[in-house]
Amino acid sequence: MAKRIDVSGLTAYYGSHKAIEDISMTVEPRSVTAFIGPSGCGKSTFLRTLNRMHEVTPGGRVEGKVLLDDEDLYGAGVDPVAVRREVGMVFQRPNPFPTMSIFDNVAAGLRLNGDHRKSELNDIVERSLKGANLWNEVKDRLNKPGSGLSGGQQQRLCIARAIAVEPKVLLMDEPCSALDPISTLAIEDLIGELKERFTIVIVTHNMQQAARVSDRTAFFNLAGVGQPGKLIEIDETERIFSNPSVQATEDYISGRFG
Amino acid sequence: MDITTPDTQEPHPAPRPPAPGRKHTATRPGDRIFLGLSRGAGILLLVIMAAIAAFLAYRASLAITKDHGNFLTTLEWNTGVTPPVFGIAVLAFGTVVSSVIAMVLAVPVAVAIALFLTHYAPRKVSGPIAYVIDLLAAVPSIVYGLWGALVLVPNLNGLFGWLDTYLGWTGVFSWDGGAPRSMLTVGILLAIMILPIITNVSREVFRQVPRMHEEAALALGATRWEVVRMAVLPFGRSGVVSASMLGLGRALGETMAVATVLSPDFLIHGSLLNPGGGTFAQNIASKFSEASEFGRDALIASGLVLFVITLLVNGAARMIIARRKEYSGANA
């Protein structure tokens, strides 16, 4: 089941550099929340703190709280590996495992979680590929390498891989920025379907995309180079794009910076 | 596009870049000189290889045609008697067995060191260790040989006794109590000698694993070891094969270190622990200076076989790499 994300007072560092400061927000289950903002404003960093991928970078650390329903992801004794099995992620560039077949790519996360019987694995792989709108294109070549697919297909394969383990939350870090418009449309349609089952957070540089796919939009900004990124406001997407409450948001959306 | 369309159809023919491969393409002297130099270097390499092969084949044929034994299966090396009887079976066996032992011992350790340096050790630790491994690669083989003879051999009695006690029943690890100057000794020494090259090449390969593949595994909830298993090892597989082949090439041809620790007796021993045996390179080094003209030709013939074995090993490695090409990281 999809879960609610509740962030309070989150600050993230790379070594001594403070990347984002004092972010608080709530993300409702079965909704799409878009993060927008200029490069370097910390939206990707913030996204990566939601499944503890941030701390994989040397020097990466976090202060504050991230609650998934009632469980603190940064609580004492919480295993980051277990967190990532609950909170899936799709990256900017499609990254299927090049040495694995399409089938094995989708099954990769399931195999990590323990041994599944072959028939069960077949069912889940088929369901996940159907869920990612990829099944019809690849059902005849499940044993071919995933790297032989087009960029858009690879990205949907990565989505299938992420949803195969039934995460509670799906994080997407600019999932369409390396794709052509038609593949982008396919992914956006897919996001609309996936939000029935998952809590989705998507980082995007494309404001039309944010307007098309998301229910709520968060705008991040930074005061200057070397300054930490901050959450400026988060609101209904419609409001952010028509009548934001902060001037900086309106300036960014309408293309007037600074 | 129809490339035969005449230019006149273009109302304003713009200056075009010259088509590649056309004769009237302008070239600069610098380009021509560099082309000549690099092409010459490439041709020179082929000429040297051909010259070595021709020399080996010619001198070998002089000896093999006079051999009254079977050159491939005869278990003795008597080139000084009439008629001469000699064969390379013992040498081929010893060379292959000692190299296989070296690979079995060195490859897992080298891969483990490379993984430790690239994925586990903090940078402060991995730098110095990598430097020490580089130093290990620079030690001359005669020094390894001396260390083997003076340190390794006298300290192997315990290991050999243990192997004989618990694994002696297999026959392969039975020991008659002779000096531990056997195929296993050679294999251990060769393993130490080829460890640096395999480690260094594997380390380079593991370092090039794209960050995004590792993050893909991490985001699925993989532990560090699972990241290595899912993303790093599969990506590095062909590189580790090439690294191992480089090491194997060194092990097959190693001369001085083998000659220093082995007690050669030109016999095939079923046990790896009993002293004796021989390898191509060691046999050539031990006999060449005192051999007659004919004896030298016979030794060269054995060298030709080593040359062929090395070529076969390289070919096999290339096939292993090519077979997995579709799945390699190259098309990611």
At residue B19, the pLDDT reads 53
* B125 touching A (Cβ < 8 Å): no
* CA–CA distance, B193 with B102 (Å, rounded to integer): 9
> Would you tell me which residues 79-138 of chain A have a C-beta closer than 8 angstroms to some C-beta of chain B?
81-85, 88-89, 91, 93, 95-100, 108-109, 112-113
pLDDT-derived band of residue A178, with 50, 70 and 90 as boundaries? confident
Residue B159 in domain: yes
Contacts of B6 (CB under 8 A, 6+ apart): none
- Beta-carbon separation of B216 and A93 below 8 A: no
Q: What CATH number is attached to the domain comprising B183?
A: 1.10.3720.10
Smallest CA–CA separation between B125 and chain A, in Å? 15
Residue A53 CA: distances (Å) to CA of A60, A61, A89: 9, 10, 9
Residue B305 in domain: yes
Nearest-CA neighbor of A112 among B251, B224, B135? B224
pLDDT-derived band of residue A172, with 50, 70 and 90 as boundaries? very high
DSSP E strand boundaries for B45-140: 77-78, 85-86
Q: Which residues of B touch A108 (CB under 8 A)?
A: 217, 220, 230
With b for 16 or more beta-carbon neighbours within 10 A and e for fewer, the B105-138 pattern comes to: bbbeebbebbbbbbbebeeeebeeebeebeebee
pLDDT in tens, B277-294: 899 999 999 999 988 999
Q: Which residues of A touch B327 (CB under 8 A)?
A: 98-100, 145, 147
8-state DSSP, B4: T
For the entire predicted model, the pTM comes to: 0.81
Residue B68 in domain: no
Report, as an integer, the average pLDDT of A49-72.
91
* B218 touching A (Cβ < 8 Å): yes
Q: Which residues of A touch B220 (CB under 8 A)?
A: 84-85, 88, 108-109, 112, 161-162, 165
With b for 16 or more beta-carbon neighbours within 10 A and e for fewer, the B242-268 pattern comes to: bbbbbbbbbbbbbbbbbbbbbbbebeb
Of B220, B221, B332, the CB nearest to A98: B332
Number of domains in chain B: 1
Residue A83 reports pLDDT greater than 50: yes
pLDDT in tens, A86-130: 999 999 999 999 889 999 999 999 888 776 788 889 999 999 999
- Beta-carbon separation of A100 and B215 below 8 A: no
Provide the CA A14 distance to its chain's centre, in angstroms: 20
At residue B74, the pLDDT reads 87
Q: Which residue has the tokens 């903002």?
A: A37
Best B120, B123, B237, B327 residue to mutate vs chain A (most A CBs within 10 Å): B327
A62 backbone dihedrals φ, ψ, rounded to 5°? -140, 145
Token reading at A223: 């005061």
Residue B72 in domain: no
Please state, rounded to an integer, the average pLDDT across all residues of chain A.
90
* ipTM confidence: 0.89
Q: Which residues of B touch A175 (CB under 8 A)?
A: none
With b for 16 or more beta-carbon neighbours within 10 A and e for fewer, the A47-83 pattern comes to: bbbbbbbbebeeebebebebbbeeeebbeeeeebbeb
Q: Which residues of B touch A107 (CB under 8 A)?
A: none
- Beta-carbon separation of A95 and B210 below 8 A: yes
> In chain A, where are the structural domains located?
5-97+168-253
- Beta-carbon separation of B221 and A93 below 8 A: no
Of A91, A113, A165, the CB nearest to B215: A91
- Beta-carbon separation of B327 and A91 below 8 A: no
Residue B27 in domain: no
At residue A147, the pLDDT reads 85
Best B220, B224, B327 residue to mutate vs chain A (most A CBs within 10 Å): B220
* A1 touching B (Cβ < 8 Å): no
Residue B223 in domain: yes
Structural domain for B152, as ranges? 78-331
- Beta-carbon separation of B212 and A95 below 8 A: yes
| Blockwise average pLDDT, block size 10, chain B, 332 residues | 42 52 73 94 95 93 90 88 90 94 96 94 89 90 94 93 92 88 95 94 91 92 91 89 90 92 89 90 91 92 93 85 61 40
Token reading at B92: 């081929």
DSSP track, B309-325: HHHHHHHHHHHHHHHTG
Report, as an integer, the average pLDDT of A243-252.
91
The reply to whether CATH 3.40.50.300 applies to domain A5-97+168-253 is yes
> Would you tell me which residues 140-159 of chain A have a C-beta closer than 8 angstroms to some C-beta of chain B?
145, 147-148, 158
Residue B118 in domain: yes
pLDDT in tens, B54-89: 999 999 999 999 888 889 888 889 888 888 999 999
At residue B317, the pLDDT reads 81
